[in-house]
Amino acid sequence: MAYEEVKVKKPLSLILLPILSVLTFFVVWELMVQLDVVPKTMLAAPTQVGSLFVTKLSDPNPDGATIFIHAWVSAQEAFIGYLLALGIGLPLGLFMGWFGVVRGIARPLFELIRPIPPIAWIPLTIFWFGIGLGGKVFIIWLGGVVPCVINAFVGVRMTNPTLIQMARTYGASDWQIFKTLCVPSALPMVFGALQIALACCWTNLVGAELLAADQGLGYLITMGRRLALPDLVVLGMVSVGLAGAAIGVLIDYVERRLLAGIRR
């Protein structure tokens, strides 16, 4: 009987506290603006942002596009950059983990380029690509490719050495060991990379759009600054946050479905 009672009852306070804290945050924010504690030129109240959001659903003024178009442009850029980061970063990391030659060639370069924040590349990318899609995809790709390489690399390095010995005694070639042992061993880390890389891509997207864009959520924030419209700035920030959270939930869902199939 002693082991039967595993019903975990969440105390009411634990359910209420998060709701209360969020509510308090918005109420204080609203009051600070409404009571002129903070000047209206410096911050927009949540209610203003909300009404602007409803307006921006259909009105392209003053920044040239509806919020949906901004979000769509940003999402496109983020996903192209993300997919390219996966397509190049994961194989590179996997090969670097197992093949000494690839590691010898790619590692020093990678370690040199890695510490440079992707945003530092923006001026160069403007020279190279202008302010179109290409430049932003490049910045986003730079941000996403690093965690892909690192995670895939570490995943391969974590392959159980006894398994490699076992394969060696059967006379396995390096390629056979890579294919049948290293890649499957690295999969959990690779799935981790999917999530980390997407977060990196999304963050860099805003950075890229702040400086070089004519559409997108980051551009919306820049326009808000130029036109001195704090509500537009906050709307851009909130949209980025919400979209990022939504993507996180989506990836989490996909990953859980896929890992269920792997059944480790």
Partner 1 sequence: MQVAALKPDTKQVKIEVKNLTKRFGDLLVLNRINFHVAQGEFLAIVGPTGCGKTTFLNCLSKLIPTSEGNIFIDGEVADPKRHNISFVFQEPTCLPWRTVRQNVAYGMQIKGFPAAKINERVDFMLDLVGLTETQSLYPNQVSASMVQRITVARAFAVDPDLLLMDEPYGQLDVKLRYYLEDELVKLWQTLKSTVIFVTHNIEEAVYVAERILVLSNKPTNIKAEVNVDLPRPRSLIDPDFVAIRKHVTELIRWW
What does the binding site for partner 1 look like in residue numbers (CB under 8 A)? 162-163, 165-173, 176, 180-181, 184, 187, 262-264
Supply the minimum distance, in Å, between the C-beta of residue 195 and partner 1: 21
Output the CA–CA distances (angstroms, integers) from residue 197 to 149, 166, 186, 193, 202, in the order listed.
10, 34, 16, 6, 9
For residue 183, the minimal CB distance to partner 1 (Å) is 10
Distance CA 202, CA 200 (A): 5
Minimum distance of partner 1 from residue 160's CB (angstroms): 8
Q: For partner 1, give the closer residue by CB, 18 or 161.
A: 161
Residue indicated by tokens 């203003």: 48
In the complex, what is the shortest distance from the CB of residue 188 to partner 1, in angstroms, rounded to a whole number? 10
* Distances, alpha carbon 42 to alpha carbons 39, 77, 102, 214, in Å: 6, 30, 52, 24
Closer to partner 1 by Cβ: residue 134 or 184: 184
Sign of CA dihedral 147, 142, 94, 96: negative
Nearer to partner 1, 163 or 237 (CB): 163
The Cα 102–Cα 104 span in angstroms is 5
What's the closest the beta carbon of residue 171 comes to partner 1, in angstroms?
A: 4
Output DSSP code: residue 10: P
Measure the N-to-C terminal CA separation of the chain; round to a whole number of Å: 33
**Based on CB atoms, which residue is closest to partner 1, 88 or 172?**
172
Q: Which is nearer to partner 1, 41 or 162 (CB)?
A: 162
